[in-house]
Amino acid sequence: MERTLVLLKPDAVRRGLVGEVLRRVEAKGYRIVALSMREADAETLGAHYAEHAEKPFFAGVVAYMSSGPLVALVLEGQRVVEGFRSLAGATDPTVAAPGTIRGDLARDWGTPEIQNLVHGSDSPESAAREIAIWFPSF
């Protein structure tokens, strides 16, 4: 059974959308096997976004992701990496399709960083690396 990491970003928590996102995940039939609400520290975010450390947007992403509590979860299911990314929708919420999390619930707020509610691992390999960062004892 495949696993993926999902982060409900600070904007999702701030806007009270945690329950709605979790409802959609469960309605899709994926199993939540780990869940934690926490404040993300610079070390964890640095490890998570390590491939972007030298990019100009890195500091802004770390600031946004540490701006409030987030919810980290591990989902399990057949083709869950691909399935959750489809459920999340396009990264840019303005063009995300209706019916997706971002298409229905996110929008452009005019901030330097895209506030698009959720993160989902982009491959099984990334999922394994990211799960180890957020749930080291899992």
Domain of 104, CATH number, reads 3.30.70.141
Beta bridge partners of 70: 38
Establish if 137 belongs to a structural domain.
no
Establish if 120 belongs to a structural domain.
yes
52 is catalytic: no
Overall residue count recorded for the chain in this entry: 138
Domain with 9 in it: 2-130
Establish if 70 belongs to a structural domain.
yes
Give residue 51's pLDDT: 87
Exposure string over 49-78, b if 16+ CB within 10 A, otherwise e = beeeeeeeebeebbebbbbebbbbbbbebe
- Give the chain's residues under pLDDT 70: none
Establish if 122 belongs to a structural domain.
yes
Count how many domains the chain has. Answer: 1
> What is the end-to-end Cα distance of the chain in Å, rounded?
15
Beta strands per DSSP E along 1-138: 2-8, 31-38, 70-77, 118-120
Give residue 68's pLDDT: 97
Distance, CA of 132 to CA of 137 (rounded, Å): 8
- Which residue of the set 116, 119, 120, 130 is catalytic? 119
Give residue 84's pLDDT: 98
Give residue 53's pLDDT: 85
Give residue 113's pLDDT: 87
The answer to whether 7 and 37 have CB atoms below 8 angstroms apart is no
Establish if 84 belongs to a structural domain.
yes
Predicted model pTM: 0.95
